[in-house]
Amino acid sequence: MQVFLFIVVAVVAFVVGIFGFAQIIGSLRTRQKNFLLPIIIWLAILVGEFFLARLIVINYMNAFYIGTGIAFVIMLLQKKIE
């Protein structure tokens, strides 16, 4: 059961991280009229995910860090930031 919860926490953190970091990078690249709004919204979602993980699955924070870290590294390696 512990391994299952570890994997679930890591996968959820990874998926939310991929979408969040992709949206933030996309907003930085396009620089439209209200480009700060999606950045603020996705930062709030990512920070909210962190606090929710600390509240619910504090014993599996390593899985959260691993999932979010892998998502962040993947987004950096996409070379979309210029």
pTM: 0.85
pLDDT in tens, the chain (82 residues): 889 999 999 999 999 999 999 888 888 877 778 878 888 999 999 999 999 999 998 899 999 999 999 999 999 888 766 5
Query: Which residues, 6+ apart, have CB-to-CB distance to 38 below 8 Å?
Result: 23, 24, 26, 27
The pLDDT assigned to 1 comes to: 84
Residue 80 confidence (pLDDT): 67
Which pLDDT score, from 0 to 100, does residue 36 have?
85
- DSSP class per residue in 5-38: HHHHHHHHHHHHHHHHHHHHHHHHHH--TTTHHH
Residue 37: burial class (beta carbons within 10 Å; 0-12, 13-18, 19+): exposed
Dihedral class, residue 79 (left if φ above 0, else alpha if ψ from -120 to 50, else beta): left
